[in-house]
Amino acid sequence: MLRRFEDRDVGMVQELSTDPYVPLIGTLPPACDRAGALAYIARQRQRHVEGTGFSFAVGDAGSGQALGMIGLWLRDRALGRAQVGYAVMPRARRRGVATDALRALVPFAWTLPELHRLELHVEPWNSASASAATSAGFAVEGLLRGYLEIGGRRRDLMSYARIRDVPSGTEVPHPPSLGGA
């Protein structure tokens, strides 16, 4: 279940901030205290107000307790594109939380009529995230070499996408061989 961030999500934010990788790929400070976590939550609430995107807590369907977060970032909205990013608390991983969050986010994204394409980037070593993306209907598009600086180093990322009006699970067409070009 996707929902608005609440102050009670501070524990989830603090747990994610202790993951060695999550703070490197977003705006979450590493090992943040309660005040830092609350400031982060306040920034997530502002994204919609500022028009930069939508940030949601991913809540447990039964208890509503936050298990992670997911966002739809709109910097390329005028071009018909949005980026998707997510993180799940270590103790909630490998339970389908990311897949369920992606499946919930896609129909929401399509309520924005100007969007045609949702993009998702995953580190090649992150097989769990790759599985979540494909299970939620994102198609693998390929490797983006040296795409993003993470932790002071240029990193390769795999590109995944969902296209409006293209059924999920549709194979990505590959160009014909260019015959030695």
The answer to whether the pTM exceeds 0.85 is: yes
Residue 142 predicted with pLDDT over 60: yes
Residue 87 predicted with pLDDT over 80: yes
* Residues 67/56, Cβ–Cβ less than 8 Å: no
pLDDT at 165: 86
The counts of H helices and E strands in the chain are 4, 7
Dump pLDDT digits (tens) for 116-141. 999 999 999 999 999 999 999 999 99
Domains annotated for the chain, with CATH where assigned, are 2-163 (3.40.630.30)
The C-alpha atoms of residue 146 and residue 97 are separated, in whole angstroms, by 29
Is residue 15 classed as helix, strand or coil in its secondary structure? Answer: helix
Query: Measured at the alpha carbon of residue 91, what is the angle toward residues 90 and 92, in degrees to the nearest 5?
Result: 90
The amino acid sitting at 126 is N
